[in-house]
Structures are given as structure tokens and as C-alpha cells.
Amino acid sequence: MYDYTQSLRRSDASRDKVRQRTEIDLRGRRWTLLPDVFSPADTKSSLAHLDLLKFPVDGTFLEVGSGTGLIAVSAALAGCRAVWATDLNPAAAENTALNAARFGLADKVTSVHSDLFDALHDAPAFDVVYWHSNNVWAPPDLDYSVHQRAYVDPGYEAHRRYFREAPDHLAPGGQVLIALSSRARRAELEELAATESRRLVTVDSTTVQEPEGPVVYELMEVVTL
């Protein structure tokens, strides 16, 4: 079973690297990266999931846990009519807004500092709700920095709430998605989903070589039973 301390170490190494605002190049664009924000340049997960995702062109898209805004901004660039983004980390919410402005998309992307959906007032219903989650399990009874919380979810409490609450934000016919990896405790997540009357269904997946070996990145739909 994947050891959560590896993720905490990766988080700390990434944090040590980014002590001040910097820039990263991804897919032919230059992005702002603020200190304490999950770097999509430090793992292949963000780009792997970007390639698995199909954005609702002309529709509405909500990204939970937007980090730098790579995915939220890409959704707007792909032609989504309205994109909203939330993140538990205030620096990430600011980072998403900065990158949206950088690409002239400030009017299309609304970035909110929020624990999951808590601060989403006046938001529309969404055609797609998406979370590239911090899906490594970690013990609930320890303290974690906001940067570590980009990698681990203590006791999977945020996942439980996501399974329960995300469907409330959907437009008719909309889809709740979650981006997982083989580092997650999959059976526990499936059990949690079932206790919330949800089922996880694979949409697409890819296997990528990471420093620790091959990692499977999987895009799942959270289906209401």
C-alpha cells in the first residue's frame, strides 16, 4: 500500500523549491506559481489529467482545488462559457485569478477561496464539476500544512463531502468527475462513495512513469445511485 509519508516528503521538497513567486512553462504557455501552491510542473499528474478531460464547450465548468489554475484556465481557453474555481489554500485561489488575468480570461474565470463548495454563493449550476483531488490517505489526527493538504486528505473527510455535495451543484445532465491515482486507497474511496449512495465509474486512464515507478492516473465519474 502507498505510504502517505512519501507524499508529505514530495510536498515539502516542492515547498522548499518555491520560496517566492516564480514562473513555470507548460504546454507552450508561461504560468505564475505562488509559494505554497501545488506545482503542476513537479508531477505529471496535472497534465495527464488535462489530457483525459473533455471540457463542456459553451457550458459551465467548476474546478475544485484549482491550484495554479492550469485546468480552470484551460477550460476557459477551450471555450467554456463560465468557469468557477475553488481552493482551500488562499494562495491557490489568488494564483488561479492571476493566471486567468494573465491570459485575458478574468471575466470568464471566477476564483474563490473555499473549502470545497462552502463559499460558492451566486454560482451557476455546472455542466461539469471536477476535482483533481489530494487523494493520498493520511491519518486524521495530525496537523498538516496547507501545502501538504494539496497531496493528502486526512481520513478522506474531504472526499466524503465531495461525494455527498458535488451533485447539488450540477445542471440537469451534468457530470461530477474526480481525478484519482494509483497512490489512493481505492477500495476505501469506493466504500465511502457507496455510503453516500454514489458509485465511481472509470471514464479514462493513463499510466505515467513517475520517480517512484509507474503511476496510473484515472478520471472517474461520481455517479449518483
C-beta of 70 vs 97, nearer to ligand SAM: 70
What gap in Å lies between CA 200 and CA 196, rounded to an integer? Answer: 11
Residues 155-184 that bind ligand SAM (CB under 6 A): 158
88 binds ligand SAM (CB under 6 A): yes
Joined grid coordinates for residue 189:
474511496
149 binds ligand SAM (CB under 6 A): yes
Geometric angle at alpha carbon 174, from 152 and 72, rounded to 5° = 50
Task: Report the number of secondary-structure helices (H) and strands (E) in the chain.
Answer: 6, 11
Letters for 40-59 (x = contact with ligand SAM by CB under 6 A, - = none) are x-----x-------------
Q: Are 131 and 65 contacting, i.e. CB atoms less than 8 angstroms apart?
A: yes
Q: E strand or H helix at 77, and its extent?
A: helix 70-77
96 binds ligand SAM (CB under 6 A): no
Letters for 5-44 (x = contact with ligand SAM by CB under 6 A, - = none) are ---------------------------------x-x----
What gap in Å lies between CA 199 and CA 118, rounded to an integer? Answer: 23
Q: Kindly list the residues in this chain that would bind ligand SAM in the complex (CB under 6 A).
A: 38, 40, 46, 64-67, 70-71, 86-89, 92, 115-116, 132, 134, 149-150, 158
